[in-house]
Structure 1
Amino acid sequence: MASTRPGQRKLQILQALAAMLEQPKGEKITTAALAARLSVSEAALYRHFASKAQMFEGLIEFIESSVFGVINQITEKEERGVDQLHAMLQMLLAFAANNPGMTRLLIGDALVGEDERLQARMNGFYDRIELACKGALRLAVTQGHGVEDDVAARASLLVSYVTGRWHRYAKSGFRQNPAEGTDVQLSLLLAA
C-alpha cells in the first residue's frame, strides 16, 4: 500500500476488519488474515493497535458514537415519547441493516474467544440502549401513554425485540433485513 497519513491507516484497518466481519460464515478473524487483506505485515497492524481487542474496541466506539449520537438527535427532535421510541427502534434496526459486520459485534458472536472486556463493553451498550428506552417510555407515561409500573419491563422487551431481529439478520447470512416489515410489530409493542 502507498504511504498514508497518520490516522488514515488506522481507519483502513478498522474498515478492513468491519468488511471481514460481513462474511456470513462468521469465522474467527485473525490478525494474519487481516494483515493479508491489507497487504501489510502483522507488525504493521500492531504499530497502530496494541492488540486485536483494541481493533474491536475501535469498531465498538464507532457503534456507540453513531447510535447514541442519533438517539440524542431523536430525543431533541421528537416531542412525544412514543415517537422517540419508534424512531430509536427503527434506527437500531436500520443501523444493523446498513452495517452487517457491526451486527456481528452487536450480537456478540464476533467476540467469542476474544478479550472478555469487549463483551462487557457491549453489555454496557445494551444497558445504555435500555436506559434510553426507559427515558422515552417515562416521557410517554407523562403524556398519557402506558403506566409507570410497566417502564422497566417494556424497555427490556423492546431491547430484546431489537436484539432478536439482529440475531435473525446475522443468522440468515445478512439476507433477512432486520428493519423489513417491522411497522406492525412496533405498533403492537408500543401500544398502550
Structure 2
Amino acid sequence: MVVRPRRPTSVRRREIIEAARAVITEHGMQSLTIGNLARTVGVSEGAIYRHFSSKKRILAGLIEDIDLRLIERIDLIDGDPDSGLTRLEQVLHHNVAPSTLTGVSFFVIAEVLMNGDDELRQLMQASIDKHLTMIEAQLTVGVQKGEVSGDVDLKAAALQFYGLIQAVNTLNHFGSEEFPVGDSHKLWHIFNCGVSGL
C-alpha cells in the first residue's frame, strides 16, 4: 500500500467520501468497510478514523454529499433561469448518464433503512425532502411560465421525477440491458407530456 502524505482535513474528508462513493458503485454497500476505504484512499485505517469515527459517520457524510451535489447541479445548469422545465430536463439528462455516480443515493437510502439508526433516517429524510422541494420549485416555475398544466399535482410530479432518476441509476448500477440507460430524451418526453398536459 502506498501511503499518501498528510493533507488538510477538508481535502482528506472529501477523498474519503469520494472513495466511499466509488466502493459502493463498484462493489455494493456491503464492501463499504473502513479497511476497504483505507486501501482505496491509500491511508491507514487510523487515518480514516481520524476523520470519521464510524461507518455511520461516513454514511452521514455521503448524505451531505448527495445534498451538495444536487444543489451544485441545479445551480450550475446552463439554461433559462426562469424556465422550470428547462432546468428539470437538464437535471434529468445529467443524472441518468451512465458515467455519473448519482445512483449511490439509492444504496445509501437502502442502507439507512436497514440500519435502523434514527439519526441517519432523519438525515436521509431531510435530504429526500430537500430534493423533492427543489424539484417542486422548478415545476412551480413551469406552471407560472405556462409550461406545466395547472391541473398537475406538483408534489406527485416531483416524486415521479425523483423516482425516475433513482430507478434508472439503480438499473445502471446493476448493468441491466433491459432499459436504454442514458437515453434520457425518451424519458423526458414522457414526463414532459405528463406535466404539460400534451
TM-score tier, shorter chain, comes to 0.7 to 0.9
Given residue 24 of structure 2, which amino acid in structure 1 is its aligned partner? L
Shift of 1:183: 0.7
In 1, the alpha carbon distance for the partners of 2:78 and 2:119 equals 30
Given residue 61 of structure 1, which amino acid in structure 2 is its aligned partner? E
Q: Could you tell me the TM-score, scaled by structure 2's length? A: 0.76
Q: Comparing both chains, which one has the higher relative contact order based on Cα–Cα distances under 8 Å and sequence gaps of 6 or more?
A: 1
Could you give the per-residue CA deviations for residues 135-178 of structure 1, whole angstroms, max 9, x where no partner exists? 12222222223115522222222122222112212232799774
CA 1:135 to 1:2, structure 2 compared with 1: closer, same or farther past 3 Å?
closer
The share of aligned pairs that are identical, in percent, is 21
Q: Which residue is equivalent to 2:134?
A: 132
Q: Could you tell me the TM-score, scaled by structure 1's length? A: 0.78
In 1, the alpha carbon distance for the partners of 2:135 and 2:7 equals 40
Structure 1: 5+ residue stretches without partners: none
Given residue 165 of structure 1, which amino acid in structure 2 is its aligned partner? V
1:31 aligns with 2:34: yes
Pick the aligned partner of 2:161 from 137, 155, 158. Answer: 158
Shift of 1:45: 1.7
Q: Which residue is equivalent to 1:90?
A: 93
CA 1:82 to 1:4, structure 2 compared with 1: closer, same or farther past 3 Å?
same
| Contact 2:23–2:31 (8 Å) recurs in 1 | no
Q: Which residue is equivalent to 2:143?
A: 141
| Contact 1:134–1:151 (8 Å) recurs in 2 | yes
RMSD: 3.1
Q: Which residue is equivalent to 2:184?
A: 182
* Stretch moving more, 29-38 or 135-144: 29-38
SS at match of 2:30: coil
- Any residues of structure 2 matched to 1:4-83 within 5 Å, and which? 4-7=6-9, 8-38=11-41, 40-74=43-77, 77-83=80-86
